[in-house]
Chains A and B, each alone.
Chain A
Amino acid sequence: MQMKALQNQVEVLTDQILAIDYNVKDVLQGQQNDRIGLYYSGLALFLEAQNVNDEKIKKALIAQSLRGLSEATFQLTLTLQADIRYLINGEYKSVKGKRVELIEKRMKSIHQSFAFIHQSTMLRAGIYCELDEVAAMSTVLGEYSYFIEETIAKNAGLLAQCDTSDSGTESGIWKSRTNLKLDVVDLAKQIKSPEKILYLGVETEVKTW
């Protein structure tokens, strides 16, 4: 009888833990959706601004769009950094029998965050370029370059190890992403200098046939 009562209690506890687990998963998914939602909101506002005739409304929409995109970028950057820290500290090691599953889950989140950070940064840079705000565009690209250098390039080896689709070589997914580092220092200097000279280079095309 005692054993039966104990078994029932354990079953109730297991059900409660499962329910909590589902709720935590929902909250985490909701947070990620909020961040990605900011990107889509920024994109939609920019597209809408293109079709607005009133200049005031257009400017306001673009400003809101830039703000949404910026918030999405930095919130997702922090999420991505937290995911990488989780892998570096090997926090998955304490969960017996589910290590691979946990690594794969984090890698999925990292891939998703990276894709949206990239898209929203490029869109912000593109918007500034269209507005003829080249200095602001170079700042955005500089920030992105810093993110690639500090977050991706430094951890490319580990990320390649945790990614089953990556060979870990220079042409692998993560090491090739480190090449997204942009040298915008010269661009910023050129923009700030009073004399602006733009040199156009012409490359000769080599025919291979």
Chain B
Amino acid sequence: MVRVKGCVNEKCAAFKKKITYKESEEYCSKCGQTLSYVCKKCYTPLEEKGKYCAIHQAEKDDKADHTKKVVLGVSGVVLSAGAVVFTKGKDIVKNIPKLK
């Protein structure tokens, strides 16, 4: 999991521009302050492990749930359509010799 760091010094240009740093970096290149882990989306300082703040993590999970729901719905429709085609197809194949 790639986490990002940011400068939390409100007067620093890096903070104003929301510049993100790699996890391996320790100090801000603009003001020299120790970097903190920040949310990838909103730059809010993070205290616990994770890439996002609580609200953006929740937003991401909600989106994933929504996608899952859509995929399940679509696959359900496809499966039922497939089943109909399969059964009807069987009947058609059976009736081909009769048609001849």
Interface of A toward B, CB cutoff 8 Å? 87, 92-93, 96-100, 103-104, 157-158, 160-164, 166-171
Residues of B within 8 A of A (CB): 8, 10, 15, 39, 43-47, 53-55, 58-59, 61-62, 65-66, 69
A93 touches B61 (CB 8 A): yes
B100 to chain A, nearest CB (A): 39
Partner of A168, one of B45, B62, B65, B66: B45
CA distance A171 to B10 in the complex (A): 8
A161 and B46 form a contact (CB under 8 A): yes
Contact A161 B55 (CB under 8 A): yes
Closest to B63 in A: A97
Contact A157 B65 (CB under 8 A): no
Residues of B within 8 Å of A169, CB to CB, are 8, 10, 15, 45
Contact between chains at B55 and A162 (CB < 8 Å) = yes
The interface centre, meaning the residue of B45, B46, B59, B61 with most chain A CB atoms within 10 A of its CB, is B45
Alpha-carbon distance A99/B66, docked complex (angstroms): 12
Top-3 shortest CB links A-B = A99-B58, A168-B44, A161-B53
Please, how many angstroms separate the alpha-carbon atoms of A150 and B47 in the complex?
17
Contact B58–A157 (Cβ < 8 Å) = no
Q: How far is the CB of A64 from chain B (nearest CB, A)?
A: 41
A158 CA to B57 CA in the complex, in Å? Answer: 13
Q: List the B residue with the shortest CB-CB distance to A107.
A: B55
Complex CA gap A169/B33 in Å reads 14
Complex contacts, B43 vs chain A, CB 8 Å = 167-168
Residue of B nearest to A99 (CB): B58
CA distance A144 to B1 in the complex (A): 41
Contact pick for B54, options A96, A103, A170, CB 8 Å:
A103
| Residue contact B54 to A162, C-beta cutoff 8 Å | yes
The chain A residue sitting closest to B69, CB to CB, is: A97
Q: Which of B10, B54, B59, B65 contacts A161 (CB 8 A)?
A: B54
Chain B nearest CB from A60 CB (Å) reads: 47
Closest CB-CB distance, B22 to chain A, in whole Å? 20
The answer for the CA separation of A100 and B58 in the assembled complex, in Å, is 6
Task: Report Cα–Cα, A97/B63, bound state, in Å.
Answer: 7
Residue of B10, B54, B62 touching A87 (CB-CB under 8 A):
B54
Q: Contacts A103-B54, A162-B54: A157 and B59 contacting too (C-beta < 8 A)?
A: no
Give Cα A198–Cα B53 distance, bound, in whole angstroms: 47
